[in-house]
Structure 1
Amino acid sequence: MPPTPQQQLAETMEAMFLSHGRTLTDPQTADAFSVTLGAVLLMLDGARAEGVVGEEAHETLRGMIAGMADSPMLL
């Protein structure tokens, strides 16, 4: 069975981390990844509140980031 888009994204994220000598299967690295994405979501919410991005773009980007956040669990 071919990998799902979510699994492909997780593999891409993992490859990025591996290229820096890290892995999302390490609990500390996965936690740092989660904290970082939380900060990104905070910035995105602020951008929406300030009218920098519209509601539709905000929801799309939030969904994409949520997909990234699931990466450690899919590896």
Structure 2
Amino acid sequence: MQIATYVVYELLIRLNELNADVGDFVSCKKTEQGILVQTTSGQLTIPESLYRRQFENPAEISAIELLSLF
């Protein structure tokens, strides 16, 4: 799977609205656990299923799911 970086950016924007401590995008890579995202504040892993839903239908993702990434 190739990573569409803009999808990761969109998720970070949404996360930043809920928690300003997320930080800014630095890099990302695919791992067995999902998409490992490095930000200026640390790392977080986005499950592939959440990444795909952000790509296909972002309205399906709740704030609770986003906050669970921390």
Larger Rg: 1
TM-score, normalized by the shorter chain, greater than 0.5: no
Tell me the TM-score normalised to structure 2 length.
0.29
Tell me the TM-score normalised to structure 1 length.
0.28
Higher strand share: 2
Higher helix share: 1
Q: Name the structure, 1 or 2, with higher relative contact order (CA <8 Å, separation 6+).
A: 1
